[in-house]
Amino acid sequence: MCPHSTPSAAPSSVIHPLDPITADEVQSMKQILADAGYAGSSLRYSYVMLREPDHATLDKFCSGDPVPREIGVLLLDQNTNVAREMVVDIPTRSIVY
């Protein structure tokens, strides 16, 4: 049990770091990429997957803590046949790389 947790049931809005990506997170990811100039009819999302936090982060996680959520994305530009791999940090609304 986490040192600051209580034995009561966790609210349904609490997300665990390993929960699947939600539809809202996908929409946020798309908006973050669009705001950075990665949008257009020629772009395709070839790969979208949760980047799991390291074991140290998971070991320290307690229900109610801020949840690190990074999504790995592989974008393919069909006009140029260029693929670009990126990581989007959902809580900070930034592109990590």
The pLDDT assigned to 75 comes to 97
- In three-state secondary structure terms, 26 is helix
Domain borders along the chain are 23-95
pTM for this model (two decimals): 0.80
Find, among 37, 40, 43, 92, the residue nearest to 69 by Cα: 92
The pLDDT assigned to 15 comes to 76
The predicted-structure confidence for 28-74, as pLDDT tens digits, reads as follows 999 999 999 999 999 999 999 999 999 998 898 888 788 889 999 99
* d(C-alpha 19, C-alpha 33), whole Å: 22
- The two most distant CA atoms of the chain are separated, in Å, by 55
Which of 3-7, 22-26, 30-34, 80-84 has the lowest average pLDDT? 3-7
Which CATH class for the 23-95 domain? alpha beta
Say whether pLDDT at 14 is over 60: no
Q: Counting Cβ atoms within 10 Å, is residue 16 exposed (0-12), middle (13-18) or buried (19+)?
A: exposed
